[in-house]
Structure 1
Amino acid sequence: MKFAYRFSNLYGAVYRQGNLSFSKDGNNVISPIGNRVSVFDLKNNSSETLPFSTVKNITCVGLSPDGGLAIVVDEDGAAQIISLITRAVLQHFHFHKPVSSIRFSPDGRKLVVTKENVALLYHAPGKHREYNALVLDKTYYGPYDETTCIDWTTDSKCFAVGSKDMSTWVFGAERWANLIYYSLGGHKDLVVGCFFEKESLDLYTVSQDGALCVWESDTEPSGLVLTKKVAEKEEEKESSLEEGEEAEEGGSRAQVIRGKADIRKSSSVSSRHFFNKEGEFNNLTCASFHKDTHILVTGFASGVFHLHELPEFNLIHSLSISDQRISSVVMNCSGDWIGFGCSGMGQLLVWEWQSESYVFKQQGHFNNMASLAYSPDGQYIVTGGDDGKVKVWNTNSGLCFVTFTEHTSSITHVTFTSSGFVIVSASLDGTVRAYDLHRYRNFRTFTSPRPVQFSSLAVDFSGELVSAGAQDSFEIFIWSMQTGRLLEVLAGHAGPVSSLCFSPVQSILASASWDKTVRIWDMIDSWQTKETLPLPADGLAVSYRPDGQELAVATLDGEISFWVPQDATQTGSIAGRHDLVMGRKESEKITAKQSAKGKSFTALCYSADGASILAGGQSRFVCIYNVKEQILMKKFEVSCNLSFDAMEEFLDRRKMTEFGSLALVDEGAGDGDGVQLSLPGVRKGDMSSRHFKPEIRVSSLRFSPTGRSWAATTTEGLLVYSLDGSMIFDPYDLDLDVTPASVRRQLRLKEWTSAIVLAFRLNEHALTQEVLETVPHKEIPVVCGSLPDVYVEKLLFFLAGCLEKSAHLQFYLSWAQNLLLLHGQKLKNRSGAILPTIQSLQKTFNPQPTLLSHNPPLEFP
């Protein structure tokens, strides 16, 4: 169970594309992120990424009215039915075409899916016990172009579908005698949104050119009647009706048939409104309507959003949230909060329009992540990206609480000092910056005598020396953290310095370079080279073991070599090229097996006990090796998203055209929303724009100081794998007499020590917690003293986990204090093995900044 790490969370990305959704209670935002789905809890300020993934990026999400089910559909039309309660995939389904939108009916019995110019009506899953979860009921044809949006009436009798052919179609969900379908025209651009009034057939339609049409109907929804065949079936089921009731039904039917003519006559535009009144053309990109409060929210390509009250079209707010287009907008059930998604910047915002304040504001790295580092207590993760931003994430909530934007170019490396309150970052802009987590400011900037690009960074264990390696001058610069002065420039490498690492126990610096050497520098003895380690290929990454007695180096030939730095002797090596399993790119004409021959590991990290090493590189796999045995223990596939490049294994002749590979053929224009003046002769968009698929890779890896989790910066974002999130039954020394009943029997007999031992042998968290909280407070010292040695470490680790979540702080702190006082000397002799547990306790003891406990999770500039 030591390597049973499972996907835990995804940081660094909050929104990519698709539609946002609020949960039934309105407190959670459900956002698609690539091929995964994240749930952001606005009340508890936390985020959770669901443990499933689709084959390609998710384009639309449909949420059931009761909030229990979600249907996610990717770019190819492959769908998954997800239980939001158990976080499990219930069924896979394929629509065989890209799906534009999906919507459940308000009663939860029907489901409409639109693809191309067709609307498909399904029986919603979960309402009936049937073999197939999705059963097709009807297929509706009407629009001539692709469909864009769906909306249902309040009573689930009809639904409307908007299209790119500038028309809106109203269909009946049942076989109504006086409404089969109806087409509404009047717009001059594609329809972005269509919305029914509450308990009415009145309709609002919004088009991309900023026009709002109001359609009124004289017929009420209660005036719709079923056709004769359907009505006869219904009458057979209800044959016990009285004659008076039948007469009333006949009268209402005659009245509705007259309404059939009325609905055709009255379905006309009663009023038309325009958003672009000042003549500034600005595309309307998304819209949402709240039926109870009659508020319409519209988002535009310039980052502006409007709030209007309908049907009078009174302007409530007009605000700008960014300079990028708003891709998705949604209102919660109460109508108080509005969620916005901006795909260009990777932003997710929740705005409370009545108080005019942000409830939630998060933004991920909109370019690739380059580096990450854990704080010494494992409470925070800092990341640096190609967008020049340094972000700090809380590992408990999964949210970013501060962003530093002082760098002007890509960040190559970030790290924490040993105190945990200072972050240091290196960038290609020629500066190394230090940030204070108490005041959230850049308090120190380190520069070189002449401009260079820093590609690596390291800080010594005391936090006094800061070193950075240059990729163009081949030098290593040493600064003092206290004074900010340049202390020394270390020269000797004949190639770019790719990686730096300080020894955890003394002031010795190891530097790996492309000149096929690793140099060991003594920071105390005149900054001289202590040893030079020859490598078989270019050095890419170097890492010290936590005790400082071993050095691991990754080279360009795909090998990991291990050295004793004191006497410069090599103790072993691992050939990891076959473990990378690199996929071929779309533009390459070789297989993945041949492509992997030129790949290598670019990131290394030792585990907390030093027995294992984590390695990743230009591949979708992360490998864990046993250092002593030098064998592969486990491989983790960080992504299965085919929307990324370098994921395919074999050549596909179906993607070869007469002009070459389909990936190299330019398909033409982008969306053109940011183009003011297009090129002469261009009908749509900017013909100079290019589209590319990002390549999957792992740029940085780190083990948590507690040893219970590890994180990797990938093209997808910051992936966290943990042992704690997985439900694994791992009993210890189990026999037939160890049962929950026997544990509770010992509790009734007040045999506290025996009950604790039996609970740990079963290894069930809830039972162990029940036993501990049953022990009287005054009996804790006696129980701790009589506890066998093998269970002391288990109990300490259990207490570390309880202190993070439980409200009984004093009670669990008493357990921890008595264990450490009574068994401190024995634990000291096993300090190496128990180090992760002690660090996990330390993580709980350290106070968090007041910013996290009192303010909502906003990002600070």
Structure 2
Amino acid sequence: MKFAYRFSNLLGAVYRQGNLNFSKDGNAVISPVGNRISIFDMKNNTSETLPISTTKNITCVGVSPDGCLAVVVDEDGAALLVSLITRAVLHHFHFHKPVSSIRFSPDGRKFVVTKENVALMYHAPGKQREFNAFVLDKSYYGPYDETTCIDWTDDSKCFVVGSKDMSTWVFGAERWANLIYYSLGGHKDVIVGCFFEKDSLNLYTVSQDGVLCVWESDTEPDGLVLKKSVDKSKPARPEEDEEEEERAEGEEGEVIRGKTETPKTNSKIKNVRYKQISKHFFNKEGEFNNLTAAAYHKPTHILVTGFASGIFHLHELPEFNLIHSLSISDQRIASVAINSSGDWIAFGCSRKGQLLVWEWQSESYVFKQQGHFNNMASLAYSPDGQYVVTGGDDGKVKVWNTNSGLCFVTFTEHTSSVTSVTFTSSGFVIVSASLDGTVRAFDLHRYRNFRTFTSPRPAQFSSLAVDVSGELVSAGAQDSFEIFLWSMQTGRLLEVLSGHEGPVSSLSFSPVQSVLASASWDRTVRLWDMLDSWQVKETLPLTSDGLCVTYRPDGQQLAVATLNGEISFWNPQTAAQTGSIAGRHDLEVGRKETDKITAKQSAKGKSFTSLCYSADGESVLAGGHSKFVCIYNVQEQMLMKKFEISCNLSFDAMEEFLDRRKMTEFGSLTLVDDGAGDEDGVDISLPGVRRGDMSSRHFKPEIRVSSLRFSPTGRSWAAATTEGLLVYSLDGSLVFDPYDLDLDVTPASIRKQLRLQEWASAIVLAFRLNENALKQEVLETVPQQQIPVVCGSLPDIYVEKLLGFVASCLEKSSHLQFYMSWAQNLLMLHGQRLKNRSASIVPTLQSLQKSIQRHFDNLSKLCDFNMYNIRYAVALSKQKGIKRPAEEEEDDEDEGMSEASVEETDLML
């Protein structure tokens, strides 16, 4: 199962479009990111991306009241029923038209979907024993234009639908005699939100032009009467009296058509009526600002409204008292959500890809994350695998925690695209190169830019490398064809290496020697000797333009990707080529919508642009202008596995063939732009123009992989793509991978050995069965004093496996000293034999270092906190007033003890 990597997480993107939802407990935000769903847990400070994806970008998500199910709908109307417990897809469905909103009823028995000008009510899956998960109950017609929003009453008896035709419609979820439908006007723009008051039929409606209407009903929810009970008490009515309601039983379910005139009244039952009691305006003093999102928390009566200018307001209803007003950005707020307790408010800004959670009572951010505004250009892992740094076309350098999946620092000093990023060997310094003509070094202790390297003449740096010692920094220019060398210590320019006759596309330092390899578009790879006055040591001739060069971790091999789609392997000592892989056919490039040629013809010009060796050096990871990432075996020069990183058809160059159904006499239908302008509500000034501004730009990003890296632990790899930073891991998948299995290896036989206190035998059997839970049970049963004896008697073949398992347990377990004892004894007793297999043991040792470093960081913070508290207490005791001599003597003793305890804490740290 060496290459059984599964999608693990999506970093670098937190929100794209669609509606935000809170989990049932209110501690996590469920956010649509492209065609995937991410869950951000703010209580535990972690993020998780579900291993499901739709065929296009997600537009709306509906979460059931119990928090177990979610209905996810994409731009085309294709829906997935997802279990939020098992993270699995339960059902596929297609609404055949774009869906604007979806909402479950509070009792969880129904959900309403709005598409075009119709509201469809379905039975919620799982509540009744039905073969089909999506059973249509009723169809509601009323609005003349597209529907925009939904809300339910608390008792699930009625729901309200807002529309673009400026009307709001109240419908009965059951066949009520006194409320079939009711149409409300009063607005002059698109309805953005409509909300029922708590335990009432009273309504609030909010429109795009910033107007709030308050509607009062003359009937309580208990006053709704079922039609069947009325029908029994009176004779059957003639057919002409049923004009207000048309029913068509069958596949479509029951159809209810609303009309603009008031429904006919029943002589016995008075129909529900609404009255507008007040009207409020958000846009005061003549300023016009489109209201783009709204949410209402019924228990606290708080209305949150977001605007196109990035401002949001909190009002208390029905008095319309302004509680709070703040500007979170200069971009449009696309979605607003409030958690169940009403403390936290989530905001999504689609333009910036920003997700914020605001606690309004303390006026502070609980959560604030933003992805790269443009494409992500490069990435690098820290030496211990705990952090990933990314550089983007927006000029930002972001550092992400691989455990939590969240960004904890952003450096914004660059003024142009960041082309390359890397860590130094210490892991505390990040170096980045940019097209703005600077190379910058950032300190991860103080979060500051402490070095800026520049060239004598302005140059655009396209590649970057730092040597093993962290002292030499090199960057290649794409306009002057030169390589610049600086000293990290002094910041001075040491040398300018000239010789290439084309842009320098990639640089790589040897891990074992002071040799720099540079690949260029002039069809050469040059090896520069850093010790011998920076002279060219060797020149390797290539068959095509060099795009990427990288050293094997042991420094004994060099891999080069060229423009003709080949990966060639070289021996840097003898300058001889040892092999090559023709990978153009493995890329499988898709056809762009503007291409005049087929995908097969366009693939001839495609190639790999990023390479990375695995930690053991046996395989190489390759990616480029395609949705595929390939893993090749270097020795056999063959494809081992191919990963499809995305199936999102909202990106360009995804399909091999153009869709013939989209071809018209004017060409492809996708190229005929129907004025799909900004979502900010551009004024429609021309007759016949359906939406947007005809001069606005329509952009569809192309899928590509710009950078790839294996984690130092070897357990995962990351790819910087158009979607974001995709992480594929071996840890997330439940793969049963037994080792040397026979009939005697069973859980029962393993536990029998434990009862007999045959510890070494039990460990060997558990690792042969290779079930993590059982391995952990066996290890934790072994007494602490027996650990050295067991480690000494283990066969060599199991030592490496046990060390890897201890490293993974150490990361999550609270038994810190116990697992540290295992690691220490294994390394002390088998260190020499492990050293002989240094290439294969490196990932395991990196994983162990990552786990220990994480615990060290957490404990050192706790120790620092305790130490400062002790010092504060000592300082406070010294500041007390005049004391009696006896008290002073006692205090002196206490101070001595306190100072001693502080010294002990310092020694521990």
Normalised to the residue count of structure 2, the TM-score between the two structures is 0.89
The answer to whether the 8 A contact 1:392-1:403 is kept is: yes
The answer to whether the 8 A contact 1:678-1:685 is kept is: no
Letter in 2 for 1:806: S
Residue 649 of structure 1: how far off its partner (Å): 0.9
Residue-by-residue CA offset, 1:22-79 (whole Å, 9 max, x unaligned): 0000011000000000000111000000001000000000000000000100000000
Alpha-carbon separation, structure 2, partners of 1:151 and 1:769? 49
Q: How many residues align?
A: 830
Residue-by-residue CA offset, 1:316-349 (whole Å, 9 max, x unaligned): 0000111101000000000000000000101001
Where does residue 137 of structure 1 map in the other structure? Answer: 137
Alpha-carbon separation, structure 2, partners of 1:69 and 1:53? 16
Alpha-carbon separation, structure 1, partners of 2:805 and 2:319? 61
Where does residue 95 of structure 1 map in the other structure? Answer: 95
Residue 258 of structure 1: how far off its partner (Å): 7.9
The answer to whether the 8 A contact 1:589-1:651 is kept is: no
Where does residue 736 of structure 2 map in the other structure? Answer: 729
Closer, same or farther in 2 for the Cα pair 1:674/1:122, shift >3 Å?
closer
Where does residue 219 of structure 1 map in the other structure? Answer: 219
Where does residue 251 of structure 2 map in the other structure? Answer: none
- SS of 2:270's equivalent in the other structure is helix
- SS of 1:495's equivalent in the other structure is coil
Where does residue 12 of structure 1 map in the other structure? Answer: 12
Larger relative CO (CA 8 A, sep 6+): 1 or 2?
A: 1
Where does residue 589 of structure 1 map in the other structure? Answer: 596
Letter in 2 for 1:214: V
Closer, same or farther in 2 for the Cα pair 1:734/1:677, shift >3 Å?
closer
Where does residue 199 of structure 1 map in the other structure? Answer: 199
The 5-angstrom pairing of residues 245-260 of structure 1 reads none
Closer, same or farther in 2 for the Cα pair 1:678/1:541, shift >3 Å?
farther
The answer to whether the 8 A contact 1:46-1:397 is kept is: yes
The answer to whether the 8 A contact 2:156-2:173 is kept is: yes
Where does residue 569 of structure 2 map in the other structure? Answer: 562
Residue 230 of structure 1: how far off its partner (Å): 9.0
The answer to whether the 8 A contact 2:116-2:146 is kept is: yes
Where does residue 744 of structure 1 map in the other structure? Answer: 751
Instruction: Establish whether residue 388 from structure 1 lines up as the match of residue 422 from structure 2.
Output: no
Where does residue 445 of structure 2 map in the other structure? Answer: 438
Q: What are structure 1's unaligned runs of at least 5 residues? A: 234-255, 855-861
Closer, same or farther in 2 for the Cα pair 1:177/1:316, shift >3 Å?
same
Where does residue 650 of structure 2 map in the other structure? Answer: 643
Q: 2:457 aligns with which of 427, 450, 453?
A: 450
Residue 95 of structure 1: how far off its partner (Å): 0.4
- SS of 1:589's equivalent in the other structure is coil
Where does residue 44 of structure 1 map in the other structure? Answer: 44
Where does residue 487 of structure 1 map in the other structure? Answer: 494
The answer to whether the 8 A contact 1:401-1:852 is kept is: no
- SS of 1:757's equivalent in the other structure is helix
Residue-by-residue CA offset, 1:691-737 (whole Å, 9 max, x unaligned): 11100000000000011100000000000001111110001111122
Once structures 1 and 2 are overlaid, which stretch shifts more, 156-165 or 764-773?
764-773
Instruction: Establish whether residue 363 from structure 1 lines up as the match of residue 364 from structure 2.
Output: no
Residue 738 of structure 1: how far off its partner (Å): 1.3
Residue 781 of structure 1: how far off its partner (Å): 1.1
Where does residue 809 of structure 1 map in the other structure? Answer: 816
Q: 1:765 aligns with which of 760, 772, 790?
A: 772
Residue 126 of structure 1: how far off its partner (Å): 1.1
Closer, same or farther in 2 for the Cα pair 1:569/1:496, shift >3 Å?
same
Alpha-carbon separation, structure 1, partners of 2:351 and 2:599? 32
Instruction: Establish whether residue 329 from structure 1 lines up as the match of residue 336 from structure 2.
Output: yes
The answer to whether the 8 A contact 2:811-2:852 is kept is: no
Instruction: Establish whether residue 502 from structure 1 lines up as the match of residue 509 from structure 2.
Output: yes
Instruction: Establish whether residue 660 from structure 1 lines up as the match of residue 667 from structure 2.
Output: yes
The answer to whether the 8 A contact 1:624-1:633 is kept is: yes
Normalised to the residue count of structure 1, the TM-score between the two structures is 0.94
Residue 652 of structure 1: how far off its partner (Å): 2.7
Letter in 2 for 1:106: P
Alpha-carbon separation, structure 2, partners of 1:666 and 1:257? 51
The 5-angstrom pairing of residues 773-788 of structure 1 reads 773-788=780-795
Letter in 1 for 2:414: H
Q: 1:518 aligns with which of 518, 525, 529?
A: 525
The answer to whether the 8 A contact 2:674-2:694 is kept is: no
Residue-by-residue CA offset, 1:539-565 (whole Å, 9 max, x unaligned): 000010001111010000000000111
Residue 651 of structure 1: how far off its partner (Å): 2.8
Alpha-carbon separation, structure 2, partners of 1:569 and 1:2? 30
The 5-angstrom pairing of residues 353-432 of structure 1 reads 353-432=360-439
Alpha-carbon separation, structure 1, partners of 2:773 and 2:346? 37
Alpha-carbon separation, structure 2, partners of 1:631 and 1:513? 26
Instruction: Establish whether residue 699 from structure 1 lines up as the match of residue 706 from structure 2.
Output: yes
Where does residue 261 of structure 1 map in the other structure? Answer: 270
Alpha-carbon separation, structure 2, partners of 1:577 and 1:405? 37
Letter in 2 for 1:29: V
Residue 677 of structure 1: how far off its partner (Å): 12
Alpha-carbon separation, structure 2, partners of 1:391 and 1:680? 46
- SS of 2:754's equivalent in the other structure is helix
Q: What are structure 2's unaligned runs of at least 5 residues? A: 234-264, 863-909
Closer, same or farther in 2 for the Cα pair 1:502/1:679, shift >3 Å?
farther
The 5-angstrom pairing of residues 332-343 of structure 1 reads 332-343=339-350
Residue 648 of structure 1: how far off its partner (Å): 1.4
Alpha-carbon separation, structure 2, partners of 1:380 and 1:851? 18
The answer to whether the 8 A contact 2:290-2:681 is kept is: no
Letter in 2 for 1:399: L
Closer, same or farther in 2 for the Cα pair 1:230/1:628, shift >3 Å?
farther
The answer to whether the 8 A contact 1:82-1:88 is kept is: yes
The answer to whether the 8 A contact 1:408-1:429 is kept is: yes
- SS of 2:595's equivalent in the other structure is coil
Alignment RMSD (CA, Å):
1.9
Instruction: Establish whether residue 315 from structure 1 lines up as the match of residue 344 from structure 2.
Output: no
Where does residue 799 of structure 1 map in the other structure? Answer: 806
Alpha-carbon separation, structure 1, partners of 2:599 and 2:6? 26
Residue 469 of structure 1: how far off its partner (Å): 0.4
Residue 366 of structure 1: how far off its partner (Å): 1.4
The 5-angstrom pairing of residues 229-244 of structure 1 reads none
Closer, same or farther in 2 for the Cα pair 1:260/1:307, shift >3 Å?
farther
Alpha-carbon separation, structure 2, partners of 1:443 and 1:674? 44
Alpha-carbon separation, structure 2, partners of 1:665 and 1:743? 68
The answer to whether the 8 A contact 2:684-2:691 is kept is: no
Residue-by-residue CA offset, 1:592-634 (whole Å, 9 max, x unaligned): 2222111000000000000000000000000000000000000
Q: 1:820 aligns with which of 827, 832, 837?
A: 827
The answer to whether the 8 A contact 1:195-1:204 is kept is: yes
Instruction: Establish whether residue 634 from structure 1 lines up as the match of residue 641 from structure 2.
Output: yes
Instruction: Establish whether residue 181 from structure 1 lines up as the match of residue 181 from structure 2.
Output: yes
The percentage of counterpart residues that share the same residue type is: 83
Q: 2:279 aligns with which of 272, 287, 301?
A: 272
Residue 660 of structure 1: how far off its partner (Å): 2.6
The answer to whether the 8 A contact 1:679-1:687 is kept is: no
Residue 679 of structure 1: how far off its partner (Å): 11
Residue 662 of structure 1: how far off its partner (Å): 2.5
- SS of 2:272's equivalent in the other structure is helix
Alpha-carbon separation, structure 1, partners of 2:654 and 2:606? 14
Alpha-carbon separation, structure 1, partners of 2:754 and 2:204? 66
The 5-angstrom pairing of residues 95-114 of structure 1 reads 95-114=95-114
The answer to whether the 8 A contact 1:475-1:489 is kept is: yes
- SS of 1:330's equivalent in the other structure is strand
Alpha-carbon separation, structure 1, partners of 2:76 and 2:857? 45
- SS of 1:263's equivalent in the other structure is coil
The answer to whether the 8 A contact 1:622-1:636 is kept is: yes
